């Protein structure tokens, strides 16, 4: 996945394809490619690296007036020339670009290999062009071949297809991955996101799930999921290019906060069969799981907070002891780890210097290493015994949001899997899996509190300090909430176990001090509430984040999370504290996406 453009018209297609892709560059990518078509052949250029690398391969004047383009953010197969899109069939007569994830691609690939197909890339996307070829050869009608192909695809896709058999036509299909269409007097366009089209038209047609479209130089036709023609529904796009790149939000941070439902959905895709957890990379490890005596979770910053959460969940579900350590400490503490130790590394970028050094140390000591990483093919991913990928997509804002919640979700799934491998039955697993699957909707519901959060966050505008408190699983949320607030709003924030307040920090609470209190864990709730009341008694203004059941009449500023399993409540709580940090920073006029002194990827010690 990442950026798609397509053009068919009365003038050369290449300028549109390239400028459209450049308008999608903000999304991040690792390779780029285009296919241009004339009546005799399809020509494809593709390369690892930036669009500028692709441009070096292209001749200046290319007259073809129909073509498709792609920028890829690797999800299956490392960034490479081979894995870059477009992908072609063997004869080079059909070319496809794809955004999304084909969940059942291994099955489809095996079936196609059995009937004589050859594959040249590690991508899930290549099965699409081979499947199209298969159906087209059975009956040479591309519209029907496309309908048959998408019927076999499980997962998400935005597809754009050119073929030598219809040199001025582009076929398009969409499910759970965005695709927009447009037209002007120059021709007809498609793209994975509106910014690519806005220099040409503001009349945009967002394709709906299950729909397909056929574009030619004079216009376009749209079809429903059964292939029946439907009336195209254009909208006048309300944003300029810059705000469209941020999805209409005023910052990437806010956009990425709102992308969490889909990021979580993608991360969970294909992970369950009934109550069985499907993590092939873990299953393939040749390990006697009962010889694992120690588990250590290791990461930096926000990812380290995800590890603190995972450490508690691991002990609860497996009944085994585990540890958690910042990578910057682990690498220097001469840890007592060996071949009976499972080390789990967590990193969005996969390049954090301390985490990488800790991984190398763990390997040198013979540990089993598993990483949870967002960037495919990154150093940490490559050097671990097994890697699990979060599917957060590129995270552009420096402050991590969707990467964090997808880490929480994937770590949870990994721990359920480990319990199964240890032969331990996790109590209530059916309900847990049900709620994991509901998380995208539950996060949507949480985001609906936006206006309330904004109002409450306003009280941080003139504050120098704030305190986050919580117990048990609310503690990592308190740490992460405080980190987010510090990073983007520069309000000094500390996090404490609520029960620890009376051992010192309560000395800091005075009239109007802002306390963000997290009380979502039923088994400790009454104790947490008592701790919170201790701060109220000293004049604190408490923003209480709690569940649906908590009696909270005495509190003025209350936000409730949707009802769900307590072990998963950390996810909506993260979303709310991210919003608090965002709105506090906005009130203060901070540069939200690029906080001072911080870099997105910390590749030096």
Task: Choose between 30 and 166: whose C-beta lies nearer to ligand F6R.
Answer: 30
- Considering beta carbons, is residue 89 or 578 the nearer one to ligand F6R? 578
Catalytic residue, candidates 2, 160, 300, 343: 2
Q: How many CB atoms lie within 10 A of CB 264?
A: 27
Q: How far is the CB of 327 from ligand F6R (least distance, A)?
A: 8
Residue 188 near ligand F6R by CB under 6 A:
no
300 lies in the binding site for ligand F6R (CB under 6 A): yes
Name every residue whose Cβ is closer than 8 Å to that of residue 445 and which is 6 or more positions away in sequence: 562, 572
Stretch that binds ligand F6R, among 122-130, 256-264, 298-306, 568-576 (CB under 6 A): 298-306
Report the nearest approach of ligand F6R to the CB of residue 598 (Å). 8
Contacts 24+ apart (CB under 8 A), 156-159: 156/99, 156/100, 156/101, 156/266, 156/269, 157/98, 157/99, 157/100, 157/102, 157/128, 158/4, 158/98, 158/99, 158/100, 158/192, 159/96, 159/97, 159/98, 159/128
Phi and psi at residue 571, to the nearest 5°: -75, -55
Q: Is cis: bond before 86, omega within 30 of 0?
A: yes
Least distance to ligand F6R from the beta carbon of 538, Å? 30
Site string for ligand F6R, 472-491 (x = CB under 6 A): ---------------x----
Sign of dihedral through CA atoms 448, 260, 587, 548? positive
The strand pairing partners of 205, in sequence order, are 181
Among 349, 520, 528, 567, binds ligand F6R (CB under 6 A): 349
**Interface with ligand F6R by CB under 6 A: which range of 93-101, 294-302, 358-366, 545-553?**
294-302
Task: For residue 303, state whether it binds ligand F6R (rule: CB under 6 A).
Answer: yes
Q: How many residues bind ligand F6R (CB under 6 A)?
A: 14
Binding mask 305-344 for ligand F6R (x = CB under 6 A): ----------------------------------------
- Is residue 301 a contact residue for ligand F6R (CB under 6 A)? yes
Site for ligand F6R in 507-526 (CB under 6 A): none
Supply φ then ψ for residue 594, to 5 degrees.
-130, 75
Cβ 348 to ligand F6R, closest distance in Å? 3
Closest CA to 259 of 408, 395, 73, 350: 395
> CB of 210: closest distance to ligand F6R in angstroms?
35
- Per-position DSSP letters for 491-510, written without gaps between them: -EEEEEEGGGGGGTGGGG--
147-180 burial string, b = 16+ CB within 10 Å, else e? bbbbebbebbbbbbbbbbebbbbbbbbbbbbbbb
Judged by CB, which is closer to ligand F6R: 399, or 564? 399
Q: CB nearest ligand F6R: which residue?
A: 301
Question: Is the separation of the CB atoms in 386 and 410 below 8 Å?
Answer: no
- What sign results for the dihedral spanned by CA atoms 134, 139, 142, 144? negative
577 forms part of the interface with ligand F6R (CB under 6 A): no
Q: Is 600 a catalytic residue?
A: yes
593 is an interface residue for ligand F6R by CB under 6 A: no
Nearer to ligand F6R, 19 or 601 (CB): 601
602: contact with ligand F6R by CB under 6 A: yes
Interatomic CA distance for residues 40 and 52, integer angstroms: 28
* Residue 352 near ligand F6R by CB under 6 A: yes
Using rule CB under 6 A, residue 384 touches ligand F6R: no
- Beta-bridged to residue 546, according to DSSP, are 519, 560
Does residue number 399 form part of the binding site for ligand F6R (CB under 6 A)?
yes
- Cβ 601 to ligand F6R shortest distance, Å: 6
What is the smallest separation between the CB atom of 403 and ligand F6R, expressed in angstroms?
6
What residues are labeled active site? 2, 600
Point out which residues bind ligand F6R (CB under 6 A): 300-303, 347-349, 352, 355, 399-400, 487, 601-602
């Amino acid at each position: 996945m990442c950026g798609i453009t397509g053009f068919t018209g009365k003038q050369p297609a290449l300028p549109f394809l390239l400028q459209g892709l450049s308008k999608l560059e903000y999304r991040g990518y690792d390779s780029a490619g285009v296919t241009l078509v004339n009546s005799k052949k399809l020509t494809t250029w593709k390369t690892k690296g930036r669009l500028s690398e692709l441009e070096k391969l292209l001749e200046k004047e290319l007259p073809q007036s129909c073509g498709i383009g792609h920028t890829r953010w690797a999800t299956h197969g490392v960034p490479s020339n081979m894995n870059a899109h477009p992908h072609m069939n063997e004869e080079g007569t059909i070319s496809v670009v794809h955004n999304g994830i084909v969940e059942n691609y291994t099955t489809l690939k095996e079936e196609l290999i059995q009937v004589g197909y050859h594959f040249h890339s590690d991508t899930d996307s290549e099965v699409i062009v081979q499947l199209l070829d298969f159906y087209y050869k059975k009956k040479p009608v591309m519209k029907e071949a496309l309908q048959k192909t998408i019927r076999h695809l499980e997962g998400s896709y935005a597809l754009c297809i050119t073929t030598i058999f219809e040199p001025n036509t582009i076929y398009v299909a969409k499910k759970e991955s965005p695709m927009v269409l447009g037209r002007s007097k120059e021709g007809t366009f498609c793209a994975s996101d509106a910014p690519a089209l806005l220099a040409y038209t503001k009349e945009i047609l967002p394709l709906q799930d299950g729909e397909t479209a056929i574009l030619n130089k004079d216009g376009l036709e749209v079809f429903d999921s059964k292939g029946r023609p439907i009336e195209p529904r254009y909208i006048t796009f309300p944003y300029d290019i810059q705000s469209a790149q941020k999805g209409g939000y005023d910052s990437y941070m806010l956009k990425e906060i709102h992308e969490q439902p889909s990021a979580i959905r993608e991360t969970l895709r294909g992970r369950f069969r009934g109550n069985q957890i499907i993590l092939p990379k873990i299953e393939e490890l040749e390990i006697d799981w009962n010889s694992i005596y120690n588990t250590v979770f290791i990461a930096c910053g926000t990812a380290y907070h995800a590890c603190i959460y995972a450490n508690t969940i691991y002990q609860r579900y497996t009944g085994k002891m585990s540890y958690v350590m910042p990578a910057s400490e682990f690498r220097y503490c001469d840890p007592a780890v060996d071949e009976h130790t499972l080390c789990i590394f967590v990193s969005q970028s996969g390049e954090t210097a301390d985490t990488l050094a800790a991984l190398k140390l763990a390997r040198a000591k013979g540990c089993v290493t598993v990483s949870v990483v967002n960037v495919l093919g990154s150093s940490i991913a490559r050097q671990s015994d097994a890697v699990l990928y979060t599917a957060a997509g590129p995270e552009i804002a420096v402050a991590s949001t969707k990467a964090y919640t997808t880490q929480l979700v994937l770590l949870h799934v990994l721990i359920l899997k480990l319990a199964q491998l240890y032969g331990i039955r996790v109590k209530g697993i059916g309900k847990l899996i049900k709620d994991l699957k509901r998380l995208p909707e539950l996060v949507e519901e949480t985001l609906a509190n936006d206006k309330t959060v904004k109002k409450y966050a306003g009280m941080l505008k003139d504050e120098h300090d704030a305190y986050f408190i919580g117990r048990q699983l609310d503690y990592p949320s308190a740490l992460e909430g405080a980190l987010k607030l510090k990073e983007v709003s520069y309000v000094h924030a500390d996090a404490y176990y609520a029960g620890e307040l009376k051992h010192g920090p309560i000395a800091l609470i005075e009239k109007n001090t802002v306390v963000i209190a997290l009380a979502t864990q039923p088994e400790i709730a009454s104790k947490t509430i008592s701790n919170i009341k201790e701060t109220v008694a000293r004049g604190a203004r408490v923003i209480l984040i709690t569940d649906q059941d908590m009696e909270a009449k005495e509190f003025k500023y209350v936000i409730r999370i949707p009802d769900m399993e307590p072990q998963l409540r950390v996810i909506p709580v993260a979303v709310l504290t991210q919003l608090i940090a965002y709105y506090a920073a906005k009130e203060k006029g901070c540069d939200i996406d690029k906080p001072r002194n911080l870099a997105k990827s910390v590749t030096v010690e």
